[in-house]
């Protein structure tokens, strides 16, 4: 196997190609282990990143892909229960770890926000790419919007 300099080892060649093929404003789903990519994003590209948690792959992707901070107030969103679901989760470790990954890649934590589950699925249906991780923490799904360099 041949390696490229500067590419995180958990970024496969399929994921690298898909990231390169994305355009400005395209959406990327970071899916937890339970997310159904074929039914939620049937027209998108699906790439496995098994063995990785959500925050870990977010950190690696952000080493390569810019976020759309020029046109989007919250280019990173994490899934939370719908307000009418009767379920309320104040904090999840995976959300905090993802925010740290965003900050470690030069962005402010304010660009990350919550999005209700039903709205998440609606937006995810338009995603260009879904990265399927091994994340098992509940509500470990994220949306990221690609920016320009």
- One of 68, 78, 97, 107 is an active-site residue; which one? 68
In the chain, which residue ranges form alpha helices assigned H by DSSP?
Answer: 13-21, 37-40, 54-62, 93-104, 117-124
35 is catalytic: no
Q: What is the dihedral of CA 104, 65, 97, 110, to 10 degrees?
A: 70
Q: Which of 35, 78, 121, 139 is catalytic?
A: 121
Q: Which two tokens stand for residue 61?
A: 């992707």
Is 68 tagged catalytic? yes
d(C-alpha 45, C-alpha 42), whole Å: 8
Say which of 21, 24, 71, 82 is annotated catalytic. Answer: 24
Residue 126 and residue 71: Cα distance in Å, rounded?
18
Q: Using CA atoms, how far apart are residues 37 and 62, in angstroms rounded to an integer?
A: 21
Catalytic residues: 24, 68, 121
């Amino acid at each position: 196997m041949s390696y490229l300099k500067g590419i995180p080892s958990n970024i496969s060649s399929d994921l690298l190609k898909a990231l390169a093929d994305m355009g400005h404003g395209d959406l990327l789903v970071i899916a937890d282990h339970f997310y159904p990519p074929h039914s939620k994003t049937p027209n998108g590209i699906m790439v496995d990143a098994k063995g990785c948690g959500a925050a870990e792959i977010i950190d690696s992707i952000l080493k390569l892909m810019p976020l759309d901070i020029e046109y989007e107030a919250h280019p990173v969103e994490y899934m939370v229960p719908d307000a009418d679901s009767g379920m309320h989760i104040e904090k999840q470790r995976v959300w905090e770890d993802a925010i740290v990954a965003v900050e470690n890649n030069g962005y402010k934590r304010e660009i990350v926000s919550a999005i209700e589950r039903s709205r998440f699925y609606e937006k995810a249906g338009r995603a260009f790419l879904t990265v399927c991780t091994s994340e098992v923490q509940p509500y470990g799904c994220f949306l990221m919007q690609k920016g320009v360099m």
